Amino acid sequence: MENWDHEVDTLVVGSGNGALTAAITAHDHQGGNVLIIEKADTIGGTSAISGGGIWIPNSHYAKAAGAKDNADEAKRYLRSTIAEDLVSDELIDAYLQAGPDMLKFLADSSRCEYISLAMYPDYYAKNDGAREGHRSLEPKPMARNKIKAWRHLNESHQMMYAGPISFTQREAHDLMTEAPLAPFMFVKLMLTHFLDFGWKKVKTKRARRITCGAAGVGRLLWSVEDRDIPLWRNAGLNDLVKDDAGRVIGVKIEKDGKPMAVRVNKGVILACGGFEHNDALRDAHLPKPSSSKFSAGVASNTGDGIIAAQNIGAKLDKMNHAWWVTTWSVPGEKRPRLSVIEKSLPGSLVVNGQGKRFANESENYMAFQHDLFRTHSETSPNDPAFMVFDRTYRSENLVGPLMKFKQRPDKALPKRFFTPEFLVIGDTIEELAEKAGIDADSLKSTISNFNEYAKIGKDEEFQRGDAAYDRYYGKDKYKPNPCLGAIEKPPFYAIRSNPGDFGTGGGMVINTNGQVLAEDGAPIDGLYACGNCTAALLPTYPGPGSTLGPAMAFGYLAGKHVS
């Protein structure tokens, strides 16, 4: 191909954590020109709307906080959760080395800052090598107007907001578990926002401060802007171009609706997300009853990078994998709402249409959805499922868009909320069951048993509250088990809980340099990848941030190697 419209040394496709880490690394190591392209009009992809946590064991942040950890312990833990035929020792070793190195590189040379989470446990805390904190980190909050392109930054997911205010993971945890100082923290955040008169002139509905995924992408984007690395929005990948020797030398894209060909001298790094909004790929690979309509991933994630790579001979793996999580379809909201915390709080349970529980509601969200799929059948379907709770729970907790009862009583809720697809209310369990379409006798029996478990402090069916992760969202005032609270006080509520996801985890197979491998196992010269367009490195989701951690680590490795 001879007619190129543009030429760069390194091209990065995507604008999430992995992509921006790769771009910064390539820029700083090669000194050449780097270009980032993003299919959507907004920046940050699913990274920006996520919780923003990264699972990186043995980081310098953890060491500074006094944590005791090492790569050997972390590897033992990973090997206790991930079979060797799923992920090789070489890839795990590369990740455990590159993760801390990447964080130190960004801390020393960019605007990126993270906070080690002391109390956020590994998700399989009983396994060998597990830790109860300091392996997950969250981005330090920042002022959004530090970024020139802040108006184009994707917002954190709505579950992390209360009105205009977004919360860090630590703040959200303290609020939801009723930590002693949480009310004062909430008031301080609100006052800070409403007294920020200079920001009000900007005429945006959100506060100046950003947290979680938006802060993670925001700090990386700030660092990209410091380096004057161009980022083209509305520029989607169509095809990869190879020369006669099989090396990737460029891409065909569509920018602002017009075709372009970009020559790439050193390498293309694909970091453009999964295929959660490609129904054909979902139907071919993912289990039922999942659906794109329940996915909280960004709409632009349609597998473009995966398809383009497969078209030139890339090997794919783990295409049946996704990052499963409960979502709610809230009328009036533009995307499904993640529900990570609510089901874990004492005073609620989740049942299927037969009125039966099928899992430990306080286990991590991936494990919960795996249990949903594992026990789902035609005779006992788990879709639809419903989170059931009472007035006590409603009064105590921020229940998604319902807020707390005092803040937003039932009569103040929008009428559009009251639909079997989202929310039903009944003065009795029987009325609730009839409105929701749940077997009434079975639901009454399930709640009766559950209330007895709460009384004795032992979930005899699913051991809710036994594991350290279960108790992360427990409340000390609920005794003897902080995860169990009785459902007794009318009215009663049911929210339809869908088998959702926040992205897929199947795609290109890569090596320890982030190079994409061909079907024969050889690297495709000039092609790299990281993040959700690759076969998942941590498919069992061993800890909070198991997608973004590997995305950034292998973005860093790819950025170094392409240089």
Q: How many domains are there within the chain?
A: 1
Q: Identify each DSSP E strand in 256-376 by its residue range.
A: 258-270, 316-317, 322-328, 337-338, 348-352
Cα-based distances in Å from 463 to 127, 350, 466, 470, 519: 16, 14, 6, 9, 44
pLDDT at site 182: 87
Q: Is position 93 within any domain?
A: no
Q: Please say whether the beta carbons of 167 and 51 come within 8 A.
A: no
Query: pTM of this prediction?
Result: 0.96
Q: Is position 272 within any domain?
A: no
Q: Is position 457 within any domain?
A: yes
CATH for 424 = 3.90.700.10
Asked if the model's pLDDT at residue 40 lies above 70, the reply is yes
Q: How far apart are the first and last CA of the chain?
A: 24
Measured CA to CA, the distance from residue 196 to residue 426 in angstroms comes to 42
- pLDDT by residue (tens digit) across 323-343? 999 999 999 998 999 999 999
Q: Is position 374 within any domain?
A: yes
Q: Is position 182 within any domain?
A: no
Measured CA to CA, the distance from residue 24 to residue 17 in angstroms comes to 11
User: Half-sphere exposure (CA, 13 Å, Cβ side) for 124?
Assistant: 18
Helix, strand, coil shares, percent, the chain, to 5? 35, 20, 45
The residues near 235 (Cβ < 8 Å, ≥ 6 apart) are 37, 38, 39, 253, 254, 255, 256, 260
- Mean pLDDT calculated for residue range 164-192: 89
- pLDDT by residue (tens digit) across 370-419? 999 999 998 889 999 999 999 999 999 989 899 899 999 999 999 999 99
- pLDDT by residue (tens digit) across 254-273? 999 999 999 999 999 999 99
Q: Is position 347 within any domain?
A: yes
Q: Is position 217 within any domain?
A: no
Q: How confident is the model at residue 144 (pLDDT cuts 50, 70, 90)?
A: very high
Q: Is position 549 within any domain?
A: no
Identify which has the larger pLDDT, 157 or 317.
317
- pLDDT by residue (tens digit) across 97-140? 999 999 999 999 999 999 999 999 999 999 999 999 999 999 99
Q: How confident is the model at residue 514 (pLDDT cuts 50, 70, 90)?
A: very high
Cα-based distances in Å from 286 to 32, 345, 378, 508: 40, 29, 17, 16
Burial 277-314 (b: 16+ CB within 10 A, else e): bbeebbeebbbeebbbebbbbbebbbbbbbbbbeebeb
| Domain of residue 379, residue span | 327-500
Q: Which of 28-32, 136-140, 534-538 has the lowest mean pLDDT?
A: 28-32
Q: Which amino acid is at 121?
A: P
- pLDDT by residue (tens digit) across 153-174? 998 876 666 778 889 999 989 9
CB-based burial label for 171 (10 Å; 0-12, 13-18, 19+):
buried
